[in-house]
A and B are shown apart, each in its own frame.
Chain A
Amino acid sequence: MTTSIKQLPDIEQVLSGNGACGGCPATMALRIVGKALGPNAIMLLTPSCSVASMGMTPRLGYNWPCINICFATAGSSASGITHALEIMQEKGRLQGELPTVFTWVGDGGTYDIGFQALSAAAERNDNMIFFCYNNEAYSNTGVQRSGATPRGSYTTTTPSGKRQQKKNMALLMLEHNIPYVATATVAYPGDLYDKVAKAKSISGMKYIEILAPCYLGWQFDMPETVQMSRMAVRSGAWLLWEAENGKISFNKPSASIINGKKDAAPVDEYLMKQGRFNRLLKGPDAAQRIAEIQGDIDREIAFMRERAQITI
């Protein structure tokens, strides 16, 4: 059973009055992550909105030891820390439960700039949770395209809409044969909480990616953050799944879409709510380009359904 809202612990690791935009999906997600991780953890961040949101020195908006590292190195820096902690424990210089080493990195720092260091850390199966909060663009620098930006989306570097499909990063991580991979999003906090709690209990490399609809980059109204997250899931544009030791299972409500019990909502409504698809929807070839995006989603659903059948 998924943990209900009332069962979530009281503990707050994200402190009120931080520097994030109102309605920020990244802080919304990090709050839930904090409830699952608790205070005994070390956080690593690469340049991103979540770094800008930490607030002004000497104040810090997150209640963990936080290390800001350079863009390409989330995976390798976290590896270094986790190894150092293990050695300190072996030598008796660290008693008690080891802190959870986790990264909190944007899609730019995961899909693109940090991919090599992440892939290497996964190949070594180093003990950490690598979180990617995915707002589908380089938001902190004014919304540029990333490998996570979906086809058709406006960004400052794709003024007429991105022409390429986003990559399936969580699946790429699964193919590293790591013990745990999961996807989540802010509209399903119990699901996110359970996944983080599970990841915390597993040793080795864990990858959790959280879809984080950002009103600024996606151009919707600020109070709609959670609505947009829900629509992403209902349209099948974002699938909720987890894989323990390589075995994929889908979570509600994505499970019903995958097993055919429920049809995914047509993507139009989801696109129409977001200003970043405006130009595409108003252009002369709108129908064709919407069909392309729907095609990407349908293909991904069909592919993941088949991929989940492979359990060897």
Chain B
Amino acid sequence: MKSVTKAYRPISWPTKGAGGDTGSWRVRRPVVNTQICNKCQICWVFCPEAVIDRNEITIDYRYCKGCGVCATECPTGAISMEKEE
């Protein structure tokens, strides 16, 4: 952490994983079928967790909560929700 004058030191710092490794909350895992995906970025815009890369359409499973919004909104059906092991 950066050092700051004591009087202005904030209580918290912006960082990923402020709620922990939220990927562990997941019961189902979104899996993108790259053969079908047309890179429309609809899944990216609606993902509340900001874990989808808008160019590659890859998912950061460390934090993806498995909410399934991406799969519901995907217009091509390229995302399937698969059972976590």
Contact = CB atoms under 8 A, between A and B. Distances in A.
Partners in one complex: yes
Interface of A: 5-6, 8, 10, 12, 14-25, 27-28, 31-32, 53-66, 186, 189, 222-227
Given A5-B41, A20-B48, A28-B48, A223 B69 contact: yes
A262 B11 CA distance: 52
A19 B25 CA distance: 11
Contacts of B14: 15, 60-64
Interface of B: 10-22, 25, 40-42, 44-51, 54, 60, 62-63, 65-69, 71-73, 81
Contacts of B49: 16-18, 22, 27
B38 to A, nearest CB: 12
B19 A53 contact: yes
Contacts of B10: 65
B50 A226 contact: no
Contacts, number: 126
A40 to B, nearest CB: 14
Nearest to A63: B14
A224 B72 contact: yes
A15 B12 contact: no
A6 B44 CA distance: 10
Contacts of B68: 22-23, 222-223
B67 A23 contact: yes
Nearest to B62: A17
A109 B32 CA distance: 39
B45 A8 contact: yes
Given A55-B19, A223-B71, A223-B72, A16 B13 contact: no
A62 B10 CA distance: 14
A64 B60 CA distance: 23
Contacts of A227: 72
Contacts of A27: 48-49
B48 A17 contact: no
CB-CB nearest 10 A-B residue pairs: A55-B18, A223-B68, A22-B67, A19-B19, A23-B67, A22-B65, A59-B18, A17-B17, A61-B18, A60-B12
Contacts of A65: 10
B51 to A, nearest CB: 5
Contacts of A12: 50
A226 B17 contact: no
Nearest to A26: B48
Contacts of B22: 16-19
Given A6-B41, A53-B19, A226-B69, A58 B13 contact: yes
Contacts of B71: 223
Given A6-B41, A16-B60, A17-B18, A60 B72 contact: no
A55 B49 CA distance: 13
Nearest to A225: B69
A17 B62 CA distance: 8
